[in-house]
A and B are shown apart, each in its own frame.
Chain A
Amino acid sequence: MSEDRNELPAAATLEQRIEQALDEARRHGAEAAEAACSGDVGLSVNVRKGAIDTLEHHRNRDLAVSVYFGGRKGSANSGDLSAEAVREAVQAACDIARYTSEDPANGLAPAERMAVDPPDLDLDHPWGITPEEAVERARACEEAALEADRRIENTEGAGVSVHRGLHAYGNSHGFLSVLPETRHGVHCVAVAGHGEDMQRDYWYTVARDPNGLEGASAVGRRAAERATARLGADSVSTERVPVLFEAAVARGLIGHLVGAVKGSALYRRASFLVDRLGEQLFPAWMQMVERPHIPRALGSAAFDAEGVATADSPLIADGVLRRYVLDSYSARRMGLETTANAGGIHNLEVQSGPDDFDSLVRRMGRGLIVTELMGQGVNLVTGDYSRGAAGFWVENGQVDRPVQEVTIAGHLGDLFAGIQAVGADVDRRGNVLTGSILIDEMTVAGK
Chain B
Amino acid sequence: MQRDTVASPIDETLRQAEADLLAPAGLDEQGLDAVFSRLLRPGVDFADLYFQASRREAWVLEDGIVREGSRSRDRGVGARAVSGETTGFAYCDEIDLPALLDASRAAGVVARSGGARALSPFRSGSGRALYRGDDPLASLDADAKVALLHRAEKAARDVDPRIEHVVVSLAGAHDTILVASSEGDWAADIRPLVRINVSVLAVSGDRRESGASGGGGRYSYSRFVEADRVEAYAREAARQALVNLEAEDAPAGHLPVVLGPGWPGVLLHEAVGHGLEGDFNRKGTSAFSGRIGERVASPLCTVVDDGTLAERRGSLNIDDEGHPTQCNTLIQEGVLTGYMQDRLNAGLMGQERTGNARRESYAHLPMPRMTNTYMLPGSDDPASIIGSVDRGLYAVHFGGGQVDITSGKFVFSASEAYWIENGRIQHPVKGATLIGNGPDVLTRVSRVGNDLQLDSGIGVCGKEGQSLPVGVGQPTLLVDGMTVGGTQA
Residues of A within 8 A of B (CB): 1-2, 5, 48, 51-61, 73-80, 85, 88-89, 92-93, 95-103, 131, 154, 156, 191, 198-200, 230, 233, 235, 238-240, 268-270, 272, 274, 372, 374-377, 379, 381-382, 384, 386-388, 390, 404-411, 443, 445-447
Alpha-carbon distance A180/B401, docked complex (angstroms): 37
Residue from A89, A96, A240, A404 in contact with B69 in the complex, judged by beta carbons closer than 8 Å: A96
Tell whether, in the assembled complex, residue A75 and residue B68 are in contact, meaning their CB atoms are under 8 Å apart.
yes
Alpha-carbon distance A64/B401, docked complex (angstroms): 32
Task: Say yes or no: A100-B84 contact (C-beta < 8 A), given A154-B283, A375-B413.
Answer: no
Nearest 8 CB-CB pairs, A to B?
A407-B485, A388-B411, A77-B72, A79-B74, A101-B65, A375-B411, A96-B69, A377-B433
Tell whether, in the assembled complex, residue B85 and residue A57 are in contact, meaning their CB atoms are under 8 Å apart.
no
Chain B binding surface SS class: strand
B484 at the interface (CB under 8 A from A): yes
Tell whether, in the assembled complex, residue B431 and residue A386 are in contact, meaning their CB atoms are under 8 Å apart.
yes
Tell whether, in the assembled complex, residue B69 and residue A374 are in contact, meaning their CB atoms are under 8 Å apart.
no
Question: Most chain-B CB neighbours within 10 Å: which of A238, A240, A447?
Answer: A238
Task: Say yes or no: A376-B400 contact (C-beta < 8 A), given A59-B92, A381-B201, A384-B431.
Answer: yes
Task: Say yes or no: A375-B402 contact (C-beta < 8 A), given A154-B285, A387-B433, A388-B485.
Answer: yes
Residues of B within 8 A of A (CB): 62, 64-76, 84-94, 96, 98-99, 101-103, 106-107, 109-110, 142-143, 145-146, 164-165, 167, 201, 203, 207-210, 250, 252-254, 283-285, 287, 363, 365, 399-407, 409-413, 430-437, 483-489
- Whole-angstrom distance between the Cβ of B224 and the nearest chain A Cβ: 17
B contact residues around A446 at 8 Å (CB): 253-254, 483
Alpha-carbon distance A76/B137, docked complex (angstroms): 14
Residue from B101, B207, B432 in contact with A386 in the complex, judged by beta carbons closer than 8 Å: B432
Alpha-carbon distance A100/B59, docked complex (angstroms): 9
A contact residues around B250 at 8 Å (CB): 386, 409
A contact residues around B207 at 8 Å (CB): 382
B contact residues around A99 at 8 Å (CB): 66, 69, 142-143, 145-146
A contact residues around B94 at 8 Å (CB): 80
Question: Most chain-B CB neighbours within 10 Å: which of A59, A240, A372?
Answer: A59
Tell whether, in the assembled complex, residue B99 and residue A1 are in contact, meaning their CB atoms are under 8 Å apart.
yes
Residue from B87, B96, B98 in contact with A54 in the complex, judged by beta carbons closer than 8 Å: B87
Tell whether, in the assembled complex, residue A379 and residue B485 are in contact, meaning their CB atoms are under 8 Å apart.
no
Tell whether, in the assembled complex, residue B433 and residue A407 are in contact, meaning their CB atoms are under 8 Å apart.
yes
Give A381's nearest chain B residue, CB to CB. Answer: B210
Task: Say yes or no: A78-B74 contact (C-beta < 8 A), given A59-B91, A407-B483.
Answer: yes
B contact residues around A103 at 8 Å (CB): 65, 67
Residue from A76, A198, A239 in contact with B406 in the complex, judged by beta carbons closer than 8 Å: A198
Tell whether, in the assembled complex, residue A96 and residue B70 are in contact, meaning their CB atoms are under 8 Å apart.
yes
Task: Say yes or no: A270-B165 contact (C-beta < 8 A), given A77-B71, A93-B71, A407-B433.
Answer: yes
Task: Say yes or no: A53-B432 contact (C-beta < 8 A), given A73-B68, A79-B75.
Answer: no
